């Protein structure tokens, strides 16, 4: 097969005609959908599906609906309707929106709708052997029908679009964002493409519009009681406790299932969670993150770009500097909040000053080893001064001296460890949802139970999502020193009631909103984690500049 430029087109799987519509509308949208496999749904898409369902009811009599595919042409698709009258075949396409208007205010077809209709016409001719002389596009919003003639120029336009589509299918980089900013509003791929954030990073003067979706309102279910069984019943998740109590939860309302300790889950439920896009995560009875289960993600191009980027030492060093700066600044600013009290300790003042001096050295660090040393010193100063933020009325049982773990030796560190496990679980959930490879990071080295990329990204959220809520809860006397903890001679663990309490505090904190200091719109912390993963990906697609900017004010 030849194209309009007489260049052979490599034969492969037929392209869906609707994908050509996306190609003409925005080549980047085509790439995200057809190469990276991004399939997001919007209210407009559901409305279009309802419209086509209504049109399908008209099938019968002179109306016929066809599902066609032609290997030689390299196209496949579902034709809305064909009407044959007096030996003439007319092709119909239905759109829920409005028609384009020319300078004389006459209705015209949009360019992307036009190529879709022409492609359908070529497909009908090639697969059914019919001659199509014209097609009609019905725009239901303004009740207008636009007639389109199938000409030689139209056939050549279809061939040119097919050639462009084939080239993009083998490309390793996403096309640039569309210059037509209005086309991004309502686009199903906006949450992945992040066009407004890209424009901001590239120096746009106008503030970024909020196209990133609202918070995922699905529940995160934590199953903490040992011996609980998790199964399915129809389209519901069935949770059976040891005492025989049963709870049913509609699967469409669940975003994650988090299994703590010795909780059983059936094989059927594992399959069901994968089908319903429910993240499944395991945390040990001792409060350590164990792992996650998500369905296979075929977005290989994203992982290839990640590998190519994160095997470059200079790029990794640059990202690591940004990360250490972000966490160090948040730690320092959290400590600075303690200076608002009437009396500020010398320990606190000294730590704040020394951290500032260390942070000035981070941009000049020439190796990851140097950064690790700076980060270690920053952490030592931070945790050494953190006890100064305890209120004077805080119970003595919650006083601590620095950071300790594996096992934790005081109540504060027991809470930190469990809180960090919850955070690591959510970062892993976001990484897997975005489609990146969690085992390939840029700062942390491979770890026994945690993936390097997850350890990298969670640094941004340790202070706001774990440190701050725990400190606030202690100062508000929300903890029971006896009932919320289990203490042995050399370790301290959260009890079942303590775990449930910390889970509640953590999930409540994630539901709070934070105005991004650079992008300047507000998101819940739950959404911010996903956004940060996507902003990281932009760092190796020549659209970076916004990663690791979430610093406490």
Domain 300-538 has CATH 1.20.120.920: yes
Do 219-283 and 300-538 have matching folds?
no
Planar angle of CA 143, 144, 148, nearest 5 degrees: 150
The pLDDT value recorded for residue 47 is 46
Q: Is the dihedral of CA 200, 205, 207, 208 positive or negative?
A: negative
Q: Which CATH architecture has domain 219-283?
A: Ribosomal Protein L15; Chain: K; domain 2 (3.100)
The pLDDT value recorded for residue 325 is 97
* Domain boundaries along the sequence of the chain: 15-189, 219-283, 300-538
As separate numbers, helices (DSSP H) first and strands (DSSP E) second, the chain gives 18, 20
6: left (phi over 0), alpha (psi -120 to 50) or beta: left
The pLDDT value recorded for residue 204 is 80
pLDDT averages per 10-residue partition of the chain, 553 residues: 40 86 96 86 47 50 69 89 78 90 91 94 88 89 91 94 95 92 89 92 82 85 94 94 94 94 94 91 90 78 92 95 96 87 77 96 95 95 93 88 86 94 96 92 80 95 96 94 88 92 96 90 92 95 91 85
Q: pTM score, two decimals? A: 0.87
The C-alpha atoms of residue 66 and residue 68 are separated, in whole angstroms, by 6
How many angstroms separate the Cα of 171 from the Cα of each of 167, 174, 326, 458, 543?
6, 8, 34, 32, 17
User: Hey, which bits of 362-515 come out as E strands?
Assistant: 485-487, 492-494, 513-515
Q: Rg of the chain over CA atoms, in angstroms?
A: 28
Helices 411-434 and 525-538, packing angle to 10 deg: 50
CA 45 to chain centre: 20
18, 19, 20, 26: CA torsion to nearest 10: 120
Closest CA to 265 of 308, 305, 231, 314: 231
Q: Which helix (H) or strand (E) holds 83?
A: strand 75-85
Tokens of 148: 């389109």
Hey, is 517 helix, strand or coil?
coil
Q: Which CATH number fits domain 15-189: 3.40.50.150, 3.40.50.2000, 3.90.320.10, 1.10.3720.10?
A: 3.90.320.10
Instruction: For 341-354, give one letter per residue: b (16+ CB within 10 A) or e.
Output: eeeeeeebbebbeb
Neighbours of 448 (CB within 10 A): 4
Neighbours of 392 (CB within 10 A): 7
The pLDDT value recorded for residue 9 is 41
């Amino acid at each position: 097969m030849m194209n309009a430029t007489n260049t052979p087109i490599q034969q492969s799987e037929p392209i869906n005609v609707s994908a050509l519509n996306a190609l003409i509308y925005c080549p980047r949208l085509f790439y995200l959908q057809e190469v990276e496999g991004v399939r997001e749904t919007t209210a407009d898409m559901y409305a279009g599906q309802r419209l086509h369902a209504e049109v399908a009811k008209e099938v019968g009599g002179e109306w016929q609906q066809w599902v066609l595919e032609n290997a030689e042409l390299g196209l496949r698709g579902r034709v809305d309707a064909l009407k044959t009258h007096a030996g003439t075949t007319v092709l119909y396409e239905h759109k829920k929106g409005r028609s384009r208007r020319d300078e004389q205010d006459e209705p015209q077809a949009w360019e992307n709708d036009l190529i879709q209709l022409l492609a359908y016409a070529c497909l009908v001719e090639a697969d059914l052997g019919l001659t199509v002389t014209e097609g009609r596009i019905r725009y239901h919003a303004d009740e207008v029908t636009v007639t389109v003639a199938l000409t030689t120029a139209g056939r050549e336009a279809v061939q040119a679009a097919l050639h462009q589509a084939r080239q993009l299918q083998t490309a390793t980089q996403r096309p640039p964002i569309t210059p037509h900013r209005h086309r991004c509003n309502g686009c199903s791929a906006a949450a992945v493409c992040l066009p407004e954030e890209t424009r901001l990073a590239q120096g746009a003067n106008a503030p970024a519009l909020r196209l990133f979706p609202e918070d995922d309102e699905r529940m995160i279910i934590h199953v903490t009681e040992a011996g609980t069984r998790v199964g399915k019943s129809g389209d519901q998740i069935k949770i059976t406790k040891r005492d025989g109590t049963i709870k049913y939860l509609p699967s469409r309302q669940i975003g994650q299932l988090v299994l703590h300790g010795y909780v059983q889950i059936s094989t059927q439920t594992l399959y069901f969670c994968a089908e319903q896009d429910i993240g499944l995560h395991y945390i040990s009875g001792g409060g350590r993150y164990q792992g996650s289960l998500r369905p296979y993600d075929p977005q290989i191009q994203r992982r290839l770009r990640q590998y190519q980027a994160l095997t470059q030492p200079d790029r990794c060093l640059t990202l690591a500097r940004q990360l250490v700066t972000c966490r160090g600044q948040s730690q320092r600013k959290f400590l600075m909040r303690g200076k608002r009290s009437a009396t500020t300790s010398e320990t606190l003042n000294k730590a704040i000053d020394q951290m500032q001096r260390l942070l000035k050295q981070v941009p000049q660090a020439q190796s990851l080893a140097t950064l690790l040393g700076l980060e270690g010193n920053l952490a030592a100063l931070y945790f050494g001064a953190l006890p100064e933020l305890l209120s004077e009325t805080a119970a003595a049982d919650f006083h601590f001296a620095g950071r300790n773990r594996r096992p934790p030796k005081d109540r504060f560190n027991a809470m930190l460890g469990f809180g960090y496990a919850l955070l690591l679980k959510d970062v892993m959930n976001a990484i897997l949802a975005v489609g990146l490879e969690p085992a390939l990071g840029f700062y942390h080295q491979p770890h026994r139970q945690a993936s390097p990329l997850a350890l990298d990204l969670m640094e941004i959220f340790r202070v706001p999502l774990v440190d701050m809520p725990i400190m606030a809860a202690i100062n508000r006397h929300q903890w029971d020193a006896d009932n919320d903890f289990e203490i042995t001679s050399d370790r301290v663990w959260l009890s079942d009631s303590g775990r449930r309490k910390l889970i509640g505090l953590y999930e409540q904190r994630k539901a709070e909103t934070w105005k991004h200091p650079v992008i300047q719109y507000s998101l819940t912390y739950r959404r911010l984690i996903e956004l940060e993963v996507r902003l990281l990906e932009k760092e190796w697609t020549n659209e970076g500049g916004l990663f690791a900017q979430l610093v406490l004010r």
